[in-house]
Structure 1
Amino acid sequence: MSAAKLVIGNWKMNGSASQVRAFANLAACEWPGCEAALCVPYPLLPAAQMAFGATPLRWGAQDCSAEDDGAFTGEVSARMIREFGARYVIVGHSERRAGHAETDGQIVGKVQHALAAGLTPIVCVGEKAEERDGEQTAMVLRRQLLQLVRALGRDLGSIVIAYEPVWAIGSGDAAAPGMIDHTLGFIADMLTFHAGSSASAVRILYGGSVNPRNAEAILSRKPVAGVLVGSAALAPADFMDICKAAARCSTPATSDAT
Structure 2
Amino acid sequence: MLIAIITDLHANREALQACLAHAEKHKVTRYAFLGDLVGYGADPRWVLDTVMDYVRQGAWALIGNHDAALLQGDGQSMNPVARKVVDWTRAQITAEQLDFIAKLPYRIEWEDILFVHANAWAPEKWDYIDGVMEATRSMHATKASITFCGHVHMPTLFHISLTGKTGEFTPMPEEGIPLSRQRRWLVIPGSAGQPRDGNPAACYASFDTDSQVLTYYRVPYDAETACQKIIAAGLPAVLGHRLLHGN
More helix by proportion, 1 or 2? 1
* TM above 0.5: no
Shorter-chain TM-score tier: 0.3 to 0.5
Q: When the two structures are superposed, what TM-score results if normalisation uses the length of structure 2?
A: 0.41
Give the structure with the higher percent strand.
2
